Copies of this chain bind each other. A is one copy, B any other.
Amino acid sequence: MNLDEARERFIQSWGALGSNWGINRTMAQIHALLLVSPEALSAEEVMEGLDISRGNANMNLRALIDWGLARKVHKSGERKEFFIAEKDIWRVAMQVIIERRKREIAPVLQMLSEVKSVGGSSDDPQVQAFIQSVDDLDTIVGQADSFLELLVKADQNWFANTLLKLFTKEKLNN
């Protein structure tokens, strides 16, 4: 496999992954293209590299910047703006994804606490069963929420060192 083929394959795959995680395909592809480009690229170059329209390139570059996954750089003597990917993608990408997930969970926790009020102290077994299910969900969704919250605060080194080592130890002990 030569460099161009490898880049192409990488960009395609990364795009597919992104689209499964709530990042649109083109946005993820632009991100991939910037990641594997040693130099900052102009909007023009992104358009050509991925064969997309000016509007599309512009919109998704802006979205990437919004998300903190890319930024504009200025090349002296150049009039155009250039773009590079944030290389520390753990910090940024994970942050973004985790925060998104948290935002999605919040309304569910709200809903769960609301529906628990159903029927008050009814002893209808249907109601009992429903409340039981909802309680279980509430527990686990709550745990997921706390966990995500902690991940948001964790940084890459903390994750790599503390967490992974801990897991290894735990696993060996059991």
Q: Which residues of chain B are within 8 angstroms of A158 by Cβ–Cβ distance?
A: 170, 174
- Whether A150 contacts B136 by the Cβ 8 Å rule is no
Task: State whether the Cβ of A87 lies closer than 8 Å to any Cβ in chain B.
Answer: yes
Task: State whether the Cβ of A56 lies closer than 8 Å to any Cβ in chain B.
Answer: no
Query: Whole-angstrom distance between the alpha carbons of A3 and B118 in the complex?
Result: 6
- Whether A111 contacts B164 by the Cβ 8 Å rule is no
Q: When the two chains form the complex, which single residue of B140, B147, B160, B162 contacts A143, counting CB atoms closer than 8 Å?
A: B160
| Chain A contact residues, majority secondary structure | helix
How many copies of this kind of chain does the complex include?
2
User: In which size bucket is the chain A interface?
Assistant: 35 or more
- Whether B163 contacts A147 by the Cβ 8 Å rule is yes
Query: Whole-angstrom distance between the alpha carbons of A79 and B174 in the complex?
Result: 45
Residue of B nearest to A159 (CB): B143
| Contact A118 to B1, CB < 8 A, known contacts A87-B133, A93-B144 | yes
Q: When the two chains form the complex, which single residue of B107, B124, B129, B170 contacts A13, counting CB atoms closer than 8 Å?
A: B107
Interface residues of A (CB under 8 A from B): 1-3, 5-7, 9-10, 13-14, 16-17, 20-22, 35-36, 38, 87-90, 93, 100-101, 104-105, 107-108, 111-112, 114-115, 117-119, 124-127, 129-130, 133-134, 136-137, 139-140, 143-144, 146-147, 150, 153, 156, 158-160, 162-164, 166-168, 170-171, 174
